[in-house]
Amino acid sequence: MTNELLNELTFFVLAIFVGFEVISKVPTILHTPLMSGTNAIHGIILVGAILIAAGANSPVTIVLGLVAVTLATTNVVGGFVVTDRMLEMFKGRQATKK
């Protein structure tokens, strides 16, 4: 096993534990926004999509890259914007409380 793979595995395993720990208690009303927020975070695949698209040099890679970048960007942008819209509502509600 190479050093690099070993490093990657370490990050992977540690990230699993962090992922579990970080959201241990979530009130029900935040389930939907939290799901939407994590949904936006996996839009990080855009980094991967750009990495493969940048080097596109044949019709196949151009098509793959274009579709991948488009889909991933939609995931990132849509994900964060829609989460913000949901949470905006909560902010309005907190304001009326006072």
Partner 1 sequence: MNTLIAVAYLLAAVLFILGLKQLSSPKGARNGNFTAALGMVVALAATIPLLHFTSAGLAVVAIGVVIGTLVGTVGARMVHMTAIPQMVALFNGVGGGAAALVAVAELLRLGVHPPFAEVFPSVFSIVIGSISFAGSMVAFAKLQELMTGRPITYPGQQIVNLLLAATIVGFAVAVLAIASIPFSFLALMVLALVLGVAFVLPIGGADMPVVISLLNACTGLAVAASGFTLNNFALIVAGTLVGASGSLLTKLMSDAMGRSLGNVLFGAFGQVRAGVTAAASGGQARAVRSASAEDLGTLLAYSQRVIIVPGYGLAVAQAQHAARDLADVLEKRGVSVEYAIHPVAGRMPGHMNVLLAEANVPYEQLKEMDQVNDDFKNADVALIVGANDVVNPAARTTPGSPIYGMPILNADQAKNVIFMKRSMRPGFAGIENELMYGPNTVMFFGDAKDSLTKLVSAVKAA
We find the least distance from the C-beta atom of residue 59 to partner 1, in angstroms, to be 9
| Min separation Cβ 88 and partner 1, Å | 7
Minimum CB–partner distance for residue 98 and partner 1 (Å)? 9
Nearby residues of 90 by Cβ (< 8 Å), 6 or more positions away: 29, 33
First-last CA distance in the chain: 59
The rounded distance, in Å, linking the Cα atoms of 61 and 18 is: 35
